[in-house]
Amino acid sequence: MKISEGGVSKAKSRAQSTWRDYAPSRPWKTVGVRSVSGPCLVRVTTSRTRGLPALPRAARTRDSGTDSCRQLEVAVAEHLTPLNAGFLGVEDSDHNVSMATGTLAVLDGPVPDHASLQATLAERLRGCPRFGQRLVRHALDLSAPEWVDDPHFDLAHHIGRVAAPSPGGDAELHAVVADVMSWRLDRNRPLWEIWVISGLSGDRWALLMKVHHCIADGTAAAHMLTGLSDNGFAHLAAHAAAATTPQGRPVLDLNPVHWMYNLRGVVEFATSLLQQSASSLNGPITSRRRYSAARVRIDDIEQVCRVFDVTVNDVVLAALTESYRDFMIRRGQVPQPDSLRTLVPVSSTSRNGPGNLDSRVSLLLPRLPIEESNPVKRLLAVRSRLAQAKAGGQRHAGRAVMSAAGLLPVAWSAWAARLLGQVHQRGVVALATNVPGPSEPLQIMGCDVIAVLPVPPIAMQLRTGVAVLSYAGELFVGVLADFEFAAVDELTRGLEAAVARLVARSKRRKPLRDWHGLALVHSA
């Protein structure tokens, strides 16, 4: 399904070919859209209000319950880091790739008045000055891209409204999400969009926040969504300050002992990328996307972790492996030991105070045991293979590579990212990442947020990307896939069924150890 941008920047040429504007003189548009099931009509609404002329670097807010105002000074990093500039390079390498990450909040209750909602969002977005800035790139990437205030900032280019087709169920909502995530953000404007999605069944509506990866990863995007919630301004401002405060250049570890240890992991990494995997899960991607989501209770995950002495990551990856396995078997393919080498970002994030995230990211490339048919043996094999990947130096090697990328000149990192994006790699077939989300239920304009779904990007010929986000006692798994990968719903339903099978098996066994909680990301 292709939908209009509804006031969001019209630089989305791939989608424009399917738009038909029936009422250009009115403050809303009815457009014809193309969907898998045939043509349908949706209603797209946008306000005429310009909104913020430019988001200030000093955001002023009123403390809840008091009449006093406090001034929040936000320091702004003027240049993009080489690592984040690499995300632009990956996007440049393939015109079908969009490196935007998304967070979808589903809310209970009627949709607020659009003018009031836009005014509320505008006020809360003032806590993040990056939302009023655009990137300026230099010729041949000889200097790092700069963040500059957009003198022509218009909120109407960034906040749009669309109604999902009837009957407004999860399938229709996911189709809207897939279409919005398929087009690139306009680099001539600040790199974000917010979509208000109405027309959902059960008296629901949704808010989709789409942000370029060079601004925020999935974790930061989840924090930004928290900041848009009622009484969440301080949270958004704190994380905006942390995200935009100039960071020192990464320090490269020159200890030869450490580098000898990391060398083994680097060799493993390079070998994995060059190997040809026996899988149909990667290959060229198109300009369109599909999206689906799964939902499981954290209590159920905790039950499995307690009984089998595993982590949340182990359970999710084991369930995902079973779902991929069933997908291959249904298509007459025989799962092989190398059929599911998966890129797993590993976060070793330390918190040094409220809103201050010291985030270090590394990478693992484990071979998930897709050849194993027994659910419990598969779960234990996942635990073992992740441990082996870390013990073998992959985690430290991945961190060293990421640190080295931050030390490269911008021109080199941009060139390397574009080259990497053009490599027809067949060694990695999937991406799976975990994002810790809000632990307490949220509200936006008095409406309860009943679900928060992550939306990862896909690139480098990976036809599926999987993101897991925790929210208020549940785990939400979002799968973004290339449009030619029609089995995206099979993956999410299969994952839910795989978790249910592990829960059933766990109830027949006694716990292997006392379990005192869970962590959604690996710790260093």
Tokens 């991607």, residue?
Answer: 285
Tokens linked to 324 = 């991929």
- 3-state SS record for 36-87: CCCCEEEEEECCCCCCCCCCCCEEEEECCCCCCEEEEECCCCCECCHHHHHH
Paired residues of 360 in beta bridges: none
Rounded CA-CA distance 80/86 in Å is 10
Rounded CA-CA distance 482/480 in Å is 7
Rounded CA-CA distance 346/215 in Å is 19
- Catalytic residue, candidates 157, 174, 212, 213: 213
Of 152, 144, 225, 146, whose CA–CA distance to 189 is shortest? 152
Rounded CA-CA distance 262/519 in Å is 26
Q: Find the distance separating the first CA and the last CA of the chain, reported in whole Å.
A: 42
CA dihedral 164, 166, 167, 171 (to 10 degrees): -50
**297 phi and psi angles, rounded to 5 deg:** -80, 135
In this structure, which amino acid lies at residue 232?
G
Examine the residue annotation and report whether 223 is marked as an active-site residue of this protein. Answer: no
Q: In degrees, to the nearest 5, what angle opens at C-alpha 84 toward C-alphas 407 and 272?
A: 75
CA dihedral 227, 228, 230, 233 (to 10 degrees): 40
In whole angstroms, how far apart are CA 319 and each of 190, 249, 311, 343, 378?
A: 38, 38, 13, 16, 9
Cβ-based neighbours of 458, under 8 Å, separated by 6 or more: 97, 285, 289, 431, 464, 465, 480, 481, 482
Give the largest Cα separation in the chain, rounded.
69
Rounded CA-CA distance 499/506 in Å is 10
Rounded CA-CA distance 210/33 in Å is 21
Tokens linked to 59 = 């955001």
Cβ-based neighbours of 77, under 8 Å, separated by 6 or more: 147, 244, 245, 246, 247
* Residues tagged active-site: 213
